[in-house]
Structure 1
Amino acid sequence: MNIITNDNEKNNQALDALKNVIDPEIGLNVVDLGLIYQIDFDEAGKKVYCSMTLTTRFCPMGESISTGVTNALNQTFLGFDVEVKVIFDPPWNSKRITDKGREILNQ
């Protein structure tokens, strides 16, 4: 898993929170599924920026998943504004699933 960040400590906190956001169709959290690309923190502006993707552009649960990511980050970083951006470049592929995710999925 290669997530870009400007603050490793806060990134670890964010990832712990995001492990509670489950893709309901696959049954795996967004971190182990490899949907999170980047999380940056602006301390002065009190903002969290997250870039993520979905397994497909037409994921029927996409809005629900991105809302879950926003809510998890809001609850973890109280007083910060959270901006979640869904991107498709690079496109998601199954190689982004973590080893733990593969275990859970029995792959």
Structure 2
Amino acid sequence: METIFDLKSIEEKIIENLKKVYDPEIPSNIYDLGLIYNIEFEQKDRYLHCTITMTLTSPTCPVAESLLEQVKYVTLAVDEVDEAKVTLVFSPPWDPSMMSEDAKEIMGASGAAMPF
């Protein structure tokens, strides 16, 4: 089946939106924190389905449900995406080494403790 979507461009739009989602207790966005493990696409006819695989800083995260809903919402906000699914995994477990350099700088500058 011929691809009718520019998946690279769509992925960039999704990432831009994911960078607007913050855990309320951590001063960095979920993408730079390294919580997004994978963004996959599946084309079905003329419809584009996106699956986001992500984790949390802790399996007991009190805002887990709202974060998952926000991820789905900002993914669906990209015009080309017709359906979004968010899959939560805990393997591999998240650790601070997964953060981008920007996130590490923000965490250090804010004096925030590294979440564990």
TM-score (norm 1): 0.86
Aligned to 1:25: 25
Distance 2:90 2:43 in 1: 27
Deviation at 1:8, TM superposition (A): 3.4
Partner of 2:39: 39
Structure 1: where are the runs of 5+ without partners? 1-6
Write the mapping of 1:1-107 to structure 2, written as runs, cut at 5 A.
7-44=7-44, 45-78=47-80, 80-106=82-108
Q: What is the count of residue pairs matched by the alignment?
A: 101
- Any idea what SS the aligned residue of 1:27 has? coil
Residue 14 of structure 1: CA displacement?
1.1
Structure 2 gaps of 5+ residues are 1-6, 110-116
Tell me how large the CA RMSD over aligned residues is.
1.5
Give CA-to-partner distance per residue, 1:24-59, whole Å, 9 cap, x none. Answer: 111211101100000011122521011000001110
- The CA deviation at 1:77 is 3.8
TM-fit CA distance, 1:76: 1.3
Deviations, residues 74-99 of structure 1 (Å, cap 9, x unaligned): 11145511000110010000000100
Structure 1 window deviating more from structure 2 (69-78 vs 80-89): it is 69-78
Q: Which has the larger radius of gyration?
A: 2
* Cα deviation, residue 65, structure 1: 0.9
> Using the alignment, how far apart are the partners of 1:48 and 1:19 within structure 2?
17
SS in 2 for 1:17: helix
